[in-house]
């Protein structure tokens, strides 16, 4: 094993099993504190996830991965895990993320069609929501965007902060007029893998779902189509939304569109705060430099919906 890449905790975890002598190579991480290594041994490979700084995410990952596989979707097989140390050994889905395919000039429509179809299958499943799963309710949503006050408008006073909370509470309840399902939370092309040897929706490998909730079906659709890191053509977005809605003919059109707008505004507000924090606190400036302008444009588009009129006024007055 390349001991310089594997932390002491990771080595202790691997010493218990058959991958103790595997060669290790780095894999791209994400914006979180998790790290990933690919292990190779005897013609086989696996992925070591180091969540030692996010140990609370390990058990939820295992539970949701097991649940998704039971529903017929492609989550990585968990080969071994230890919640106490924060390490997991996972099935290796390879390198063909949807992001990598799109960057190599692949036709985007098959990728987004497969991703949309996987969501459709999930939301159609009568047992999509695991028993006892936490709810992404309006108060939990509001907690997620409190950070905007800290990182994007730190100078506003208590009166403005209370106005922020008040107008968002009114808007966020409208997001829940759409049906509920399992909400994977970070459903976008960077967390989707193309698995060509599988069939149907199982060709979409799902990653990064440890923060799952029970919540509006619109959330993951917005996450996919209004991507903070990638421009998705408006025509393709519209086509995928139409594809999704055609599979749920009983959806209330107005309620669904309103939920989409509110969830989009929520997500973009949260992402802007995260990118600001990454830049100011951790010195990771590229997220803000490369992507915040896109997210700001998408936020302004979402705020044009009438249901968000009061939220829009707040942003114009305090965050303009």
Query: For residue 240, what is the domain's CATH number?
Result: 3.90.1200.10
Residue 116 domain-assigned (yes or no): yes
Domain check: are 68 and 107 in the same one?
A: no
Domain check: are 226 and 133 in the same one?
A: yes
Domain check: are 120 and 227 in the same one?
A: yes
| Domain boundary residue, one of 74, 91, 108 | 91
- For the sheet containing 44-50, what is the strand order? 23-27, 35-41, 44-50, 87-91, 78-82
Domain check: are 67 and 198 in the same one?
A: no
How would you write the pLDDT of the chain (320 residues) with one tens digit per residue? Answer: 555 788 999 999 999 889 988 999 998 766 568 899 999 999 999 999 999 999 999 999 999 999 999 999 999 999 999 999 999 999 999 999 999 999 999 899 999 999 999 999 999 999 999 999 999 999 999 999 999 999 999 999 999 999 999 999 999 999 999 999 999 999 999 999 999 999 999 999 999 999 999 999 999 999 999 999 999 999 999 999 999 999 999 999 999 999 999 999 999 999 999 999 999 999 999 999 999 999 999 999 999 999 999 999 999 999 97
As to burial, measured by CB atoms within 10 angstroms (0-12 exposed, 13-18 middle, 19+ buried), residue 237 is middle
Domain check: are 270 and 131 in the same one?
A: yes
Domain check: are 183 and 302 in the same one?
A: yes
Domain check: are 42 and 156 in the same one?
A: no
Integer CA distances (angstroms), 309 to 43, 89, 110, 264, 315, in order: 58, 47, 36, 14, 10
Domain check: are 172 and 67 in the same one?
A: no
Task: List the structure tokens of 198.
Answer: 């599988």
- Between CA 2 and CA 11, with CA 7 as vertex, the angle to 5 degrees is 70
Residue whose structure tokens are 């696996």:
46
Our CA dihedral for 102, 106, 108, 114, rounded to 10 degrees, sits at -100
Residue 3 domain-assigned (yes or no): no
| Domain boundary residue, one of 75, 91, 107 | 91
Domain check: are 36 and 184 in the same one?
A: no
Closest CA to 131 of 191, 76, 64: 64
Total number of domains constituting the chain: 2
Domain check: are 85 and 129 in the same one?
A: no
Q: How far apart are CA 176 and CA 221, in angstroms?
A: 14
Domain check: are 107 and 213 in the same one?
A: yes
Q: Which domain holds residue 52?
A: 8-91
| Domain boundary residue, one of 73, 91, 109 | 91
Residue 171 domain-assigned (yes or no): yes
């Amino acid at each position: 094993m390349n001991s310089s890449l594997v932390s002491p905790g990771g080595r202790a975890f691997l010493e218990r099993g058959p991958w103790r002598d595997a060669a290790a190579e780095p894999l791209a991480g994400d914006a979180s504190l998790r790290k990933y290594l690919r292990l190779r041994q005897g013609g086989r490979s696996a992925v070591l996830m180091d969540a030692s700084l996010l140990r609370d995410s390990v058990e939820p990952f295992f539970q949701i991965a097991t649940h998704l596989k039971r529903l017929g979707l492609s989550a990585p097989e968990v080969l071994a895990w230890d919640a106490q140390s924060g390490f997991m050994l996972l099935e290796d889905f390879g390198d063909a993320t949807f992001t990598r395919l799109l960057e190599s000039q692949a036709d985007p429509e098959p990728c987004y069609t497969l991703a949309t179809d996987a969501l459709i299958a999930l939301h159609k499943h009568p047992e999509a929501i695991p028993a006892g799963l936490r709810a992404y309710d309006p108060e939990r949503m509001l907690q997620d965007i409190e950070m905007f006050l800290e990182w994007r408008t730190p100078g506003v006073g208590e009166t403005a902060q209370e106005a922020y909370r008040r107008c968002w509470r009114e808007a966020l309840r409208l997001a829940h007029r759409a049906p509920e399902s399992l909400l994977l939370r970070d459903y976008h092309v960077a967390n989707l893998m193309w698995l060509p040897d599988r069939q149907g929706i199982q060709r979409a490998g799902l990653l990064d779902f440890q923060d799952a909730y029970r919540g509006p079906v619109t959330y993951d659709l917005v996450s996919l189509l209004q991507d903070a890191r990638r421009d998705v053509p408006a025509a393709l977005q519209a086509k995928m939304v139409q594809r999704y809605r055609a599979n749920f003919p009983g959806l209330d059109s107005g309620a669904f569109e309103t939920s989409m707008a509110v969830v989009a505004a929520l997500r973009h507000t949260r992402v802007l705060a995260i990118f600001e924090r990454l830049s100011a606190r951790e010195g990771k400036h590229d997220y803000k430099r490369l992507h915040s302008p896109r997210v700001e444009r998408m936020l302004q588009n979402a705020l044009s919906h009438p249901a968000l009129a009061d939220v829009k006024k707040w942003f114009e007055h305090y965050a303009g």
